[in-house]
Amino acid sequence: MPGPWTDELHALLLVGTGGTIGSVARHLFGFLARLGGLPADQGHLSTMAINATGSLVAGWLLRQFGPVNSAAFMFWGLGFCGGFTTFSSYSREFVTLMRDNRHLEAGAYMVLSVALGVAGYMAGWALAGKGG
């Protein structure tokens, strides 16, 4: 029977499926970075790149496929980008850098992560190229 529950189930499936794919892609990105020689104590650089890339894609998607409740944005924006990017890893890595007395690196990581995320989102929005 159509109605709000059917619509919400559809949304949950879109976001959940996209999130699953995004989470797997995030893990694979980190694995490939380590396989490519990124030292274990520099894993936060991979997280920063992931978050900046995910923000760029999210900005592009919202402008291209908005509004937020569109099926495309639910799958790719909320789902995939939400699963691909990670605030929890960012927070853990910041605290680890601080705990390891790498204060300057931790501060740079904090500022650059936020700046690159916002800049990535704005660049994605601009790249979508729609008026408005």
SS3 of residue 50 by DSSP: helix
Local confidence band at 1 (pLDDT 50, 70, 90 cut-offs): low
Residue entry with tokens 């569109």? 70
Read off the pLDDT of residues 43-95 as tens digits, 9 standing for 90 and up. Answer: 999 999 999 999 999 999 888 887 777 888 899 989 999 999 999 999 999 99
63-99 burial, b for 16+ CB within 10 Å, e for fewer?
Answer: bbbeeeebeebbbbbbbbbbbbbbeebbeebbeebee
Read off the pLDDT of residues 2-53 as tens digits, 9 standing for 90 and up. Answer: 678 898 999 999 999 999 999 999 999 999 999 999 998 899 999 999 999 9
Tally of CB atoms within 10 A around 58: 24
